[in-house]
């Protein structure tokens, strides 16, 4: 069963709907002891990374998250939280995976936000990208991106610059796109995580 960290950063109805369509059981994590109820953990999130980090800190769940040995999946801003730092609000984040979240605008001449379907290319044989072919399209909506890192990048994407569409370190996994909105490919990724 999957536990979703419920810290108030964005709407999770689409995520829970996707899990229901896939018959994946889930529940909500509101306090530290709830982590014991689940085998896997999802950290969702939309909006401002700094604001999301503040909400997560206020929830009191940060130490427990950093100590997790179970598989964890961060989605969108939930992914950015797992990194060390974001240029959005000059924010220090969980620092679970030592990479940075940077702003697109200074780096590229493309439109920002990066919104729509873009292709990803799995790297480093990350199991959450199992059965997902290079060049598969996923749905992205974001203005900040996670830098490419040869060690921690689990999938790349190109938008004027090559960035991390997925990252992984040990039991921590994270994706920038929205698997719950990415058609069959997104459902495959959620199944991969549920089956870890």
Partner 1 sequence: MLSKRIIPCLDVKDGRTVKGVNFVDLRDAGDPVELAWQYSQQGADELVFLDIAATHEKRKTTLDMVKAVARQVNIPFTIGGGISELKDAEALLNAGADKISINSAAVRRPELINELANAFGVQFVVLAVDTKHLPQGDFVHLNGGRIPTEIQTQHWIKEAESRGAGEILLTSMDKDGTKSGFDNILLKEINDMVTIPVIASGGAGNEQDFIDVFQKSDVDAALAASVFHYGEILIPELKALLKQNNIAVRI
Residues with catalytic function: 76, 178, 180
Among 1, 37, 115, 133, binds partner 1 (CB under 8 A): 115
**Out of 66, 111, 131, 151, the residue judged to bind partner 1 by CB under 8 A:** 111
Touching partner 1, residues 38-97 (CB under 8 A): 46-48
Least distance in angstroms from the C-beta of 57 to partner 1: 20
Q: Rule CB under 8 A: say whether 181 interacts with partner 1.
A: yes
Three-class secondary structure assignment of 85-107 = EECHHHEECCCCCCCEEEECCCC
Query: Strands 72-75 and 40-43: what pairing?
Result: parallel
Among 18, 19, 132, 165, binds partner 1 (CB under 8 A): 18
Give the span between the Cα atoms of 72 and 193, in whole angstroms: 9
Q: Locate the DSSP E strands across the chain.
A: 2-5, 26-29, 40-43, 72-75, 85-86, 91-92, 100-103, 114-122, 136-142, 144-147, 153-158, 162-169, 172-175
| Nearest residue (CB) to partner 1, 17 versus 66 | 17
Q: What phi and psi values does residue 124 have, to the nearest 5 degrees?
A: 60, 25
| Of positions 70, 85, 187, 191, contacts partner 1 by CB under 8 A | 187
Q: How many CA atoms lie within 13 A of 62 on its CB side?
A: 16
Toward partner 1, which CB reaches closer, 168 or 182? 182
Q: Where along the sequence are the contacts to partner 1 (CB under 8 A)?
A: 11, 13-14, 17-18, 20-21, 46-48, 110-119, 137, 139, 141-143, 158-159, 178, 180-184, 186-187
């Amino acid at each position: 069963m999957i536990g979703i960290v419920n810290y108030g950063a964005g709407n999770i109805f689409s995520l829970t709907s996707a899990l229901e369509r896939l018959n994946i059981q889930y529940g909500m994590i509101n306090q530290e002891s709830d982590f014991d109820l689940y085998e896997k953990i999802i950290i969702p999130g939309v909006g401002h990374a700094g604001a999301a980090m503040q909400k997560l800190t206020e929830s009191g769940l940060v130490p427990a998250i950093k100590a997790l040995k179970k598989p964890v999946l961060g989605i969108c801003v939930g992914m950015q939280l797992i990194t060390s730092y974001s240029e959005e609000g000059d924010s220090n984040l969980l620092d679970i995976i030592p990479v940075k979240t940077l702003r697109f605008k200074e780096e590229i001449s493309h439109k920002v936000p990066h919104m729509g379907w873009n292709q990803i290319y799995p790297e480093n044989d990350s199991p959450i990208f199992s059965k997902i072919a290079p060049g598969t399209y996923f749905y992205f909506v974001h203005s900040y991106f996670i830098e490419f890192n040869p060690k921690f990048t689990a999938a790349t994407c190109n938008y004027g610059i090559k960035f991390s569409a997925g990252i992984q370190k040990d039991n921590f996994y994270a994706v920038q796109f929205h698997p719950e909105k990415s058609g069959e490919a997104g459902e495959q990724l959620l199944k991969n995580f549920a089956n870890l």
